[in-house]
A and B are shown apart, each in its own frame.
Chain A
Amino acid sequence: MIILDVRNKEDFSRFNVEGPFQFDIMNIPYFDFIEEEIVSVSKVPQDKPIKVVCAKEGSAQYVGEILVNHGFENVSYLSGGIKTWGNLLAPKRINSQSDSYALFQFIRPGKASCNYGLIYDAEMIIFDPSKNIEFYESFAISQNSKIVKTFETHLQADYISGSKEIANKTGAEIFAHNGDFKEASFQYSTVNDGESYSVGKDGPEIRVLHSPGHTPGSTSYIVDNKYIISGDTVFIQSIGRPDLGGKVEEWSIMLYDTLTNKIMGLNGDLDVLPGHYMDWNEANSDLIFSEKLAYIIKHNVHVYNMDSAEKFTEFIKDNMRKSPDIYREIRRVNTGWLDVKLDEADVMDLGKNECTAVAYNKIKG
């Protein structure tokens, strides 16, 4: 199949459809078809199925019709446009089917992010829900369960959280750390380091591990002593940036302390379930983003083996990138102080995350 993206080159280069497998993608703006129909059509291979993508769907439909008029037989378009792709969630069962509970990873390829669902005894908990509420609602129904709680690993700056809307719609309770949410305009229950929660009657234990650094309230959740939902603290190939809040020194020291004194002291056999990935090659053969903590520490030795908080801070500063301007606005949405229309939310929410700390270019090079 060939993806034919008919948006302008600028929008295309900022964000486009991709995935774990190679496929052909072409960018021919729709106004090229308006200006030079025959030349543009001749650039599109006629022997393969074509999927046309645009910003919404009007232009994809328009170009699709032109292609059909020129004898193309297998043409379709992405309904809802690129935002459909941006909001897409792909559910993956993480734990064994024979376990008494079900743990799911919801991969959002458009954001390179992951959120999680834990189901037991007809109750479902969602960790870091995105704003694709319809997905969670129908997923819960498909699993014969009801959404009862959401847990936030931190105040997200890179995407709009669905917790507030889920709570409004379903009555689910929001759990979050005061370090990030104390100024939130909505009701939530506070989580504290060392506390335990559960799902359903006698369900698997959810242990709270306060792991500040990416944000002061960053929290990881250890599920059934087997999995750690690490938010933006531990990633498979990196760690969460401590410089997004404009306090790089203070937060880097916090993160150094978290990594050295908390994360490295955990059982290395824990499976890390990260909030983001940098590349599809981090996924395992089942296309799940999950890796043993011991393996991650070993393969990110530059990060975990810094001699001192000062050196760690220097390392972070050397690798700093600009943080997207939109992140300030998204934080205001996620604390409930800014209401945006669905259309605007879709636009704010588009594009990959900028949460990973380092590409290691300075260290490895």
Chain B
Amino acid sequence: MSDINFDQKLDCRGLSCPLPVLKTKKAIDEMTVGTVLKMVSTDPGSKNDVTAWAKRTGNEILAAENDGTDFVYFIKKG
């Protein structure tokens, strides 16, 4: 797991789409530019979705990791 500093954490384990992206959007909306959100999901489908969503909204994925169960994303608000 990466040693990336984050400012806020969001647990989306057990949720399936659209909830991980919806909750991530809500969390990011309330954060300030440049801060980092760590989001954890168990939905394999989140990988392409979160990546495409971040690209579309101008937020940056610093790292995306998978330990077999959890998909962990570090998203920097753009």
Residue numbers of A with Cβ under 8 A of B are 7-11, 29-32, 34-35, 54-56, 58-59, 62, 347
B52 touches A29 (CB 8 A): yes
A9 touches B52 (CB 8 A): yes
B52 touches A34 (CB 8 A): no
Residue numbers of B with Cβ under 8 A of A are 16-19, 21-22, 25, 44-45, 48-49, 51-53, 56-57
- Looking at B19, B44, B52, the one whose CB has the most chain A CB atoms below 10 A away is B52
* Complex interface: chain A residues within 8 A of B25 (CB): 31, 34-35
A30 touches B48 (CB 8 A): no
B48 touches A58 (CB 8 A): no
For B17, the closest partner residue in chain A by CB is A59
* Complex interface: chain B residues within 8 A of A8 (CB): 48-49, 51-53
Determine which of B17, B44, B57 lies in contact with A30 in the assembled complex, contact meaning CB atoms within 8 Å: B17
Across the A-B interface, give the 6 residue pairs with the lowest CB-CB distance, nearest first: A8-B52, A31-B53, A59-B18, A59-B17, A55-B45, A62-B18
A43 nearest CB across to chain B (Å): 15
A58 touches B18 (CB 8 A): yes
* Sample of 5 more A-B contacts, CB < 8 Å, known A8-B49, A11-B45: A8-B52, A10-B52, A34-B21, A56-B45, A58-B17
B71 nearest CB across to chain A (Å): 14
Query: How far does the alpha carbon of A258 sit from the alpha carbon of B21 in the complex, in Å?
Result: 53
Determine which of B18, B44, B45, B51 lies in contact with A34 in the assembled complex, contact meaning CB atoms within 8 Å: B18
B16 touches A58 (CB 8 A): yes
Query: How far does the alpha carbon of A31 sit from the alpha carbon of B72 in the complex, in Å?
Result: 19
For A55, the closest partner residue in chain B by CB is B45
B21 touches A55 (CB 8 A): no
- Looking at A31, A32, A56, the one whose CB has the most chain B CB atoms below 10 A away is A31
For A32, the closest partner residue in chain B by CB is B56
A347 touches B44 (CB 8 A): yes
Provide 26 A-B residue pairs closer than 8 Å at the C-beta atoms, listed in order of the A residue.
Answer: A7-B49, A8-B48, A8-B49, A8-B51, A8-B52, A9-B52, A29-B56, A30-B18, A31-B18, A31-B21, A31-B25, A31-B49, A32-B56, A34-B18, A34-B21, A34-B22, A34-B25, A54-B17, A55-B17, A55-B45, A56-B16, A56-B17, A58-B17, A59-B18, A62-B18, A347-B44
Query: How far does the alpha carbon of A24 sit from the alpha carbon of B57 in the complex, in Å?
Result: 28
A31 touches B19 (CB 8 A): no
For A14, the closest partner residue in chain B by CB is B48
For A6, the closest partner residue in chain B by CB is B18
For B45, the closest partner residue in chain A by CB is A55
Query: How far does the alpha carbon of A11 sit from the alpha carbon of B45 in the complex, in Å?
Result: 9
- Looking at B44, B51, B53, the one whose CB has the most chain A CB atoms below 10 A away is B53
Query: How far does the alpha carbon of A340 sit from the alpha carbon of B69 in the complex, in Å?
Result: 15
